[in-house]
Chain A
Amino acid sequence: EAGVTQSPTHLIKTRGQQATLRCSPISGHTSVYWYQQALGLGLQFLLWYDEGEERNRGNFPPRFSGRQFPNYSSELNVNALELEDSALYLCASRTRGVYGYTFGSGTRLTVV
């Protein structure tokens, strides 16, 4: 069974640009979570999608947005990039009745 896959692995953007990160959950998983892992700050909750809808978002500005497609894959968009957006962005998925998340390997976003 394929795990959670994220693309791209690495992404370098210039301040002010937009970044798009993608996530494919494990087959059968309907919930997708996005986390930001900045150096020294642990995992910060960004967004939760379930059944195609945004269920909740963390304490991040509106320029962090995303969506979930009918096949449950998800996209995270970060507009007007700032230097402090540089981080590892992790996607996790789960299915109903199972409480643990399965994480992907992440996308390393570097803003220069």
Chain B
Amino acid sequence: GESVGLHLPTLSVQEGDNSIINCAYSNSASDYFIWYKQESGKGPQFIIDIRSNMDKRQGQRVTVLLNKTVKHLSLQIAATQPGDSAVYFCAEGDSGGGADGLTFGKGTHLIIQP
């Protein structure tokens, strides 16, 4: 099946700076996108989602941007903190729950420099 990929496997940022994690998707039929955060030894934790009828959605310190024209998704984390260190996955799917479930990218490891 089609896959969701990430541009960078590792992203290192200074504490307090903003982080931007990018994701490219290839299935134009996907209408639902999610970002998950996975800390070491834990399962992925839901951060924020967005549907294809939107191009931006904001949460607490996080913003997801969706560009359907170029099939690109990004996660912006404001004022990055040490607790933000984790692997971040984007995932795509269809809003019906999907025959294939969610398709996940390989993940970006976000490293926070003190």
A: residues with CB less than 8 A from B are 4, 31, 33, 35, 40-43, 45, 48, 50, 55-56, 58-59, 90, 92, 94, 96, 99-106
Query: Is the contact region of chain B dominated by helix, strand, or loop, or is it mixed?
Result: loop
Name the 4 nearest CB pairs between A and B, nearest first: A103-B43, A43-B104, A42-B106, A56-B99
B83 close to A (CB within 8 Å): no
**CB within 8 A of A40: which of B100, B104, B106?**
B106
Q: Is the CB of B99 within 8 A of A55?
A: yes
Q: Is the CB of A42 within 8 A of B89?
A: yes
Q: Is the CB of A99 within 8 A of B89?
A: no
* Chain A residues, Cβ within 8 Å of B107: 42
- Give the interface residue-count category, chain B: 20 to 34
Q: Is the CB of A90 within 8 A of B97?
A: no
* Chain A residues, Cβ within 8 Å of B101: 33, 35, 45, 48, 56, 58, 101
